[in-house]
Amino acid sequence: MNKTIAVIRGDGIGPEIVNEALKVLDKIAEQYGHAFACEDVDMGGVAIDKWGDPLPQAMLDKCLAADSVLLGAVGGPKWEGLPGPQRPEKGLLRLRAGMGLYSNLRPAKLWPQLADASPLKPSIVEKGIDFLVVRELISGIYFGEHKTVEQNGEQVATDVMRYAEHEIERIGRIAFETAMKRRKKVTCVDKANVLDSSRLWRAVLHRVKEDYPEVEYGEMFVDNASMQLVKDPSQFDVIVTGNMFGDILSDEASMLTGTIGMIPSSSLGDGTRGMYEPIHGSAPDIAGQNKANPIGTILSAAMMLKYSFGLDVEAAAIEAAVDKALNDGLRTADCMADGCRLVSCSEMGDAIAARI
Ligand code: NAD
């Protein structure tokens, strides 16, 4: 199979972790007879420094021309003082919107080898953690109107949370379709006791659920959901939620599984072209030190093979190699435990590639 991958290394630890994912993809290409051509794309702080824009149109065009996009992370303290539209994260928002990627799937699965790294009590962890957050990605409060005005001698800021029925319906369908391939349970997480937009979510999802009679459907307020995630995460299979709630809950979910460094994500729209990235940020505190955990990015590459290229066997080979490396006691600093061997970011990439 010949595929073109737009590769966005980005900022902070981005280049380090992406290198390891490419190492693993090279090994897959070699072993299974595929050719992955990589096109470098500047986005985020690096693009601001080079082009004065977090995502120049020519870079977006490269992503649109590729079969899929692999991203490290963008952002960092250097660019934090810039006005909103010029910040690195704006590049990411524009990329998602430009590619029409409205759904973000974030699996939260505890690797048994890392059970000790979970901050939850063993009695809770024992029940198993294996759920998936389906987050709406290109609407809601992050894409509504933002403004700050002077009123009665003080600054007043407003951010608008807006959802249209079709935006809820398409993400709802992804959640139900995903649940059909899993344990057939969907929980809508919202704030319907306060927000009109949440009440619309519920009304639309009630319609969608009629097409999936086998799926058990429930609703939960986001404040309760954040508690239930730490009290009994085993109750969840697929959580479907809006952009901001999904952003927050998926970070909470990642901590339950031990480390944010292990979790991949996929962002998809209507076609097979997607964008794949670990859920963490650019970790400026450890950037350039070769100690980041590359597994979230490596597993993101595995998701790309599976969801965009239909290479299920190759994706499973990557997951199995990660499993073997963990079984062999290799750990990066973020999930180091007694009796394990501390390895660097590049050593972890080498170890996983060698186990394919
Ligand atoms: P972060 O995820 O970058 O870091 C949070 C903590 O987790 C840090 O202590 C970091 O060292 C650690 N961490 C994260 N990834 C790790 C990994 N792979 N291995 C080991 N440790 C890891 O979140 P933050 O500090 O809130 O944000 C830093 C920058 O990243 C900000 O500029 C933010 O805007 C940006 N950001 C980008 C994305 C993205 O590109 N998709 C997502 C979130 C945050």
* pLDDT for the residue 236: 98
Mutate to test the pocket of ligand 1, among 280, 335, 344 (most ligand atoms within 8 A of CB): 280
Asked whether residue 68 carries a pLDDT value surpassing 90, the answer given is yes
Q: By C-alpha distance, which of 16, 70, 8 is closest to 44?
A: 8
Asked whether residue 304 carries a pLDDT value surpassing 80, the answer given is yes
Q: What is the pLDDT of residues 6-55, one digit of tens each?
A: 999 999 999 999 999 999 999 999 999 999 999 999 999 999 999 999 99
- As given in the structure block, the two tokens for residue 65 are 């021309």
User: 191 an active-site residue?
Assistant: yes
pTM for the complete prediction? Answer: 0.88
* pLDDT for the residue 251: 85
User: 247 an active-site residue?
Assistant: yes
Asked whether residue 209 carries a pLDDT value surpassing 80, the answer given is yes
- Mean pLDDT score of the chain: 95
Where does ligand 1 bind, in terms of residues with CB under 6 Å? 13, 17, 73-76, 89, 92, 260-261, 277, 280-286, 292-293, 296, 334
- CA–centroid distance, residue 282 to ligand 1 (Å): 4
| pLDDT category of residue 244 using cuts at 50, 70 and 90 | very high
- CA–centroid distance, residue 280 to ligand 1 (Å): 5
* pLDDT for the residue 270: 85
Q: 């349970």: which residue's tokens?
A: 185
Asked whether residue 84 carries a pLDDT value surpassing 80, the answer given is no
Q: What is the pLDDT of residues 318-352, one digit of tens each?
A: 999 999 999 999 999 998 989 999 999 999 999 99
**Following CA atoms 267, 320, 34, 182 in sequence, which dihedral angle do they give, to the nearest 10 degrees?**
-40
Nearest CA to ligand 1 atom 34: 75
The larger pLDDT score, comparing residue 272 to residue 35, is at 35
- Report the pLDDT averaged over residues 58-71: 98
- CA–centroid distance, residue 143 to ligand 1 (Å): 22
Give how far Cα 65 sits from Cα of 18, 74, 266, 308, Å.
Answer: 20, 21, 18, 14
Mutate to test the pocket of ligand 1, among 282, 342, 347 (most ligand atoms within 8 A of CB): 282
Asked whether residue 133 carries a pLDDT value surpassing 80, the answer given is yes
- CA–centroid distance, residue 295 to ligand 1 (Å): 14
User: 27 an active-site residue?
Assistant: no
CB-based contacts of 308: which residues, under 8 Å, 6+ apart?
67, 68, 268, 272, 273, 274, 276
